[in-house]
Amino acid sequence: MISFNQINKTYNKKNKALIDLTFDLKPGITGFIGLNGAGKSTTINILSGLISVDTGEVKILGNPIKAGDWKYKSEVGFVLEKASYLENLTGKEYLTFAGIMYNMDKKLTDNRVKELMEYFELPYDDNKQIKEYSKGMKKKISLSCALLNNPKLLVLDEPLEGLDPISINRAKKLLLQLKSTDVTIFISSHELGTIEEICDDIIIINKGLKVFQGNFDELIEFSGLSVEEAKSISLEELFVKLVGDNSEKKLSWV
C-alpha cells in the first residue's frame, strides 16, 4: 500500500529530516513512532502531497507518486496533525462538501455523514460551526472525513490526540474493525500503549533514519533482552531503550 525507497528530505539546505528512509507497508495496522523531530510528520506530509521529496521514490497503492499527483487521494483517508478546516461551516456541511469533492452519490454521502457523526457523537442537526468546536471535536471531524469515502488505506497522524477516553476506545475499536475488512492503516502516535495494543507491525524512526521495522516479538529480539526481561517489558520501555533517554538530569526541588 505504501513504499518508501531511499527517501531523503532536507529543510533549509542543512536540516536533514529524512535520510534514505526505506520501508514497505505490510497489511494490517502499522505504528510509526519516534521522538519529536524524528521525521514522522515529514513522512506523512509527503504521503499527503503537502511536501515533495528531494530524492527517492514513493509509491502509494502500487503507483509512483510525484509532486502534483492527486488522484490517489480518492482511495486514501488522511488525518493530519495540523489539519485545515472550512471553519465557517457546520460539521455536517463540511463533511457533505467533502463527499462532493470525492464525487460521491448524494444519498450515500448523506447516509455516511449521518452515520459517522452519530458514531463520534458530533452535533448533526444544529448550527454550531467548526470554529466553535473543541480540539477533540475537530479531530473527530478529521476522522469522519478520512473514513467518508470508504478508503483502502488510512494514513493517520496523531488521530487520538485531544479525544476523551470513551472516544479513544471507540476509535480504536473502529480501526480494528476496519482492519478486518482489509483496510490498511498507517498510524503515527505518541500513545505507545495504543500502538502496542492495536498494531501488527511497528516502524521506529530516529533523526530521520529507520531504526527498526517488525512486530513486537521481533522488537524484543532486536533489543537483545533476556527471556525474563521480555516477559514484562512494554513498548514504551523498549522504545526508550532503542532511541534512549540516558539523561540523569533532575530538577533541584525534586
Look at residue 245 and tell me whether its pLDDT is greater than 70: no
Tell me the pLDDT of the chain averaged across its residues. 91
pLDDT category of residue 70 using cuts at 50, 70 and 90: confident
Q: Is residue 179 part of a domain?
A: yes
Pairwise CA distance, residues 186 & 157, whole Å: 8
All three cell numbers of 11, joined, read 529543510
Q: Is residue 203 part of a domain?
A: yes
Residues 6 or more apart whose Cβ sits within 8 Å of residue 147: 77, 112, 116, 154, 174, 178
Q: Is residue 236 part of a domain?
A: yes
Q: What is the pLDDT of residue 226?
A: 79
Look at residue 248 and tell me whether its pLDDT is greater than 70: no
CA dihedral 80, 83, 89, 91 (to 10 degrees): 30
The domain of 162 spans 2-82+152-243
Closest CA to 148 of 167, 187, 122, 180: 122
Look at residue 249 and tell me whether its pLDDT is greater than 70: no
Q: Is residue 56 part of a domain?
A: yes
Q: What is the pTM of this model?
A: 0.91
Look at residue 213 and tell me whether its pLDDT is greater than 90: yes
Q: Is residue 178 part of a domain?
A: yes
| Phi, psi torsion values for 117, nearest 5 degrees | -65, -35
Q: What is the pLDDT of residue 247?
A: 59
Q: What is the pLDDT of residue 230?
A: 79
Pairwise CA distance, residues 248 & 246, whole Å: 7
**Mean predicted confidence (pLDDT) in 149-176:** 93
Look at residue 148 and tell me whether its pLDDT is greater than 90: yes
Q: Is residue 254 part of a domain?
A: no
Pairwise CA distance, residues 218 & 213, whole Å: 9
Q: Is residue 146 part of a domain?
A: no
pLDDT category of residue 88 using cuts at 50, 70 and 90: very high
**Mean predicted confidence (pLDDT) in 132-152:** 94
Give bridge partners of residue 21 from the DSSP assignment. Answer: 7
Q: What is the pLDDT of residue 237?
A: 86
Cα dist. 201→52, 130, 197, 247 in Å? 26, 35, 11, 29
Domains: count for the chain = 1
Q: Is residue 140 part of a domain?
A: no
Q: What is the pLDDT of residue 251?
A: 73
pLDDT category of residue 246 using cuts at 50, 70 and 90: low
CATH number of the domain that residue 72 is part of: 3.40.50.300
Q: Give the three-state DSSP class for 142.
A: helix
